[in-house]
Structure formats: C-alpha cells, structure tokens
A and B are shown apart, each in its own frame.
Chain A
Amino acid sequence: MAEARVKLPDKVKKGEPFEIKTLVSHPMETGQRKGADGKIVPRMIINKFVARLNGEEVFSADLAPAISANPYLSFFTVANAGGKLEFEWIDDQGQKSAYTAELKVEG
C-alpha cells in the first residue's frame, strides 16, 4: 500500500500564506530495532520530502529516523499564481511516492 494524501484550500489569495497538510504511508523503519532473529532491521525511511509549484520548489524537508510511520507533514507557503502543485516523498531505497494537485489563486 502506498497512499499519499494532501489537503490544501479550495482557493487561496494571492500573496497570502496558506497551509498544506500531507500524509503518506511508509513504515519509517528506524534502523535501530532488532527483529525476531536478533538482527538489526535495516533502516528504511523517507529521507526527503519536496513540494513544487509549477516546477519551482516551495518547500522541502530532510527527514531523520525517529519520525513515526505514515508521517504527517504540514507547512505554510504563499503563491502569486496558481498552477500545478507536486509533492514527492523519497525513501532510502530511492522509491518515490507522488501526489499532484491543482492550486487556484485569486486576487
């Protein structure tokens, strides 16, 4: 299961900050736990999150171990024009989860 879930306002005002909420499914294995066999379970976390508006980065985060599974990230940004918002989560194995949304800007 690889689900990504994003909430943004239906429309935002030009130049005014607004919040974006994101959730993604991922085990976020810390690399610090031992399995039933006594061996360390290898680290497997999302280490990078990026949000882009029309190709330009508006927010990014480097994630570290000790962040819960299925991480929730929210952030504020501003936009002067609407367009395509793209979200990307990249994990230690290079696997990507992605989500795309349309941003409407008025005023």
Chain B
Amino acid sequence: MRRPSHIAFALTLAVAGGAAFAQAQSEKDAKYRVGDKYTGYTYADPTTQSMQDDDYVNPGFLWVQEGEKLWSAAEGAAGKSCADCHGKAQESMKAVGALYPKWQEKIGKLENVEQRINQCRADNMKAEPWKWESPALLAMTAYVQLQSRGQPVDVAVEGPVKPHLQNGERLFYMRHGQLDLSCANCHEDNDGKWMRGDHLGQAMANGFPTYRLKEQTLISLQFRLIGCVRDTRAEAYPYGSDEYLDLELYLAHRGKGLPVEAPSVRR
C-alpha cells in the first residue's frame, strides 16, 4: 500500500521495457475503447473492473448517494439548494460534465466541474465554497459526473481556450522533477507496461472522481495529478493551479470520445 521507492521506480521502468502487455480485449472492455484510446478500466485487474461494474459494489456510490442528498439541501445566505434552481440533476446535469473543463465567459476563466459547483455555491447560494478534496465537494462532483456516465468526453478547444490547450500539451510533454520524467514518458512511451504493481495506462481522465483502492477513498483528478507530479520527485503544483486546469483540458481533449465512467474504480 505504500508509495514505491522512486529509485526502484526508474529501475523497473528500464527493466520492464520488454514486450508490451497484451491487452485482454474482452467484450466487456469494448465500451472503454475508442480507436486507439483506452481508458484505465481496460488496464484494471478483473476484480477491480467488477467492482466498477456494479453500482452496489462500487464504494464510489457512497459518495454519489451523499451528493444526491446535498443536491436538495438548502445552504448559504440565499437559502437555496441546487435543486431549487436546477430541478432534477438527471435532467439538468445530463452530459454537462462531459464538456468540462469549460470556458466561463462571465468570468473569463477556464473552470473544471469542482470550480463550477463552487461558483454556484458562492454566487447563487451565497454559501462558502467547499474545500478541495473535501467529502462534500467529492460527493457533489461524483453526483454531477454520474449524470454524464456513458456520454462521450467532448471539450471545446477553440477561441479563448486554445492557449490553455497548448499549455496543457506542453506540460504533458515537459519533463518534471529529479527523475526528469514527463507524463508522456510514463503514459505514452511505457503505455501497457508494468511499473512494479502498476499497469501503466494512457492517463485518461474520463473516470474521475475515482474510487482509489490504494487511498481507500474517492479522489479528484487533481489529487491524482498531484501524485503523478510527485512521482517524478517534483514539487507538485497546488490544487486549482492553472497548470492542472490546462492539463485537465488537454487530458480531456486527448480522450475525446471516450465515455465518462465516473465514479470509476482504480487501484
């Protein structure tokens, strides 16, 4: 359960450079593949996949259930709940999450789903924004994202968003940290290989928030990115930084067309 030692990390990468892992291309996997894009589901152990397959086994649904309750709970000085303005989440939030991160004209800023939810709390409910990685924000994000399950990821990348996409791409190929590794070094060059107990995948972001078995909790995409940046022995960017936002956008664009599978289950 511990984070592997990073020296061993680099070593294993070198040794594992043999035959690429043969994908078990089962029928079940098919909906998690679009062309040569594969979601993390296809790399997961069958037992982990089966946890994700059943909404009554997937612990992520404990957060979804909590999010559903929060949806109709009035909070803040305006005395409003999400449901007061948005009605049924199944209708108003359908496929919304598949379009995020999204440019917000009003504030001239790119926002991810967590930030959009918190913007509603601040502006429309006059309530305190939820903290990053707080149980409530994870729960609401899971609930909102669930309404996009199966919908193809489709972020807009033109206009004011374009420089963000370019920056996200730059960061993806930029080497980070003492180990001098880029995201692509692990997730493209070594896609399909084993890094110790980890089966390296393509860094698709369509499954977040994810129930991470190692953490025994639901995690946000930014939590995962912080972990991946730290694995290069770099100082991680803080939550909500422009770097992660742009990376989120680039990851979504790279995974365009893959179905949203939140809340996914990963090792």
Contact = CB atoms under 8 A, between A and B. Distances in A.
A3 B57 contact: no
27 contacts: A1-B62, A1-B63, A1-B135, A3-B62, A3-B63, A3-B65, A3-B66, A5-B56, A5-B61, A5-B62, A5-B65, A7-B56, A21-B54, A21-B56, A21-B57, A23-B56, A23-B57, A23-B59, A23-B61, A27-B216, A28-B216, A68-B213, A68-B216, A69-B59, A70-B59, A70-B216, A70-B217
B113 interface: no
Interface residues of A, number: 15
B139 A72 contact: no
Contacts of B56: 5-7, 21, 23
Contact of A69 (B61, B66, B135, B217): B217
Contacts of B216: 27-28, 68-70
Contacts of B63: 1, 3
Interface string B49-67: 0000010110101110110
B66 A1 contact: yes
Interface in B149-200: none
Which 7 interchain pairs have the tightest Cβ spacing? Answer: A69-B216, A7-B56, A70-B59, A3-B62, A21-B56, A25-B62, A1-B135
Contacts of B61: 5, 23
Contacts of A24: 62
A95 B138 CA distance: 24
Interface of B: 54, 56-57, 59, 61-63, 65-66, 135, 139, 213, 216-217
A34 to B, nearest CB: 12
Contacts of A1: 62-63, 66, 135, 139
Residue among B57, B61, B62, B66 having the largest count of chain A Cβ atoms under 10 Å: B62
Contacts of A23: 56-57, 59, 61-62
Interface string A1-37: 1010111000000000000010111011000000000
Nearest to A33: B1
Contacts of B57: 21, 23, 72
Contacts of B65: 3, 5
A3 B217 CA distance: 13
Interface string A52-74: 00000000000000001110100
A68 B213 CA distance: 9
A7 B54 CA distance: 11
Contacts of B135: 1
A35 to B, nearest CB: 15
A25 B66 CA distance: 10
Contacts of A69: 59, 216-217
Contacts of B62: 1, 3, 5, 23-25, 70
A32 to B, nearest CB: 12
B266 to A, nearest CB: 14
A3 B66 CA distance: 7
A5 to B, nearest CB: 6
Nearest to B57: A72
Nearest to B216: A69
Nearest to B69: A3
A23 B56 CA distance: 7
A3 B64 CA distance: 10
A75 to B, nearest CB: 13
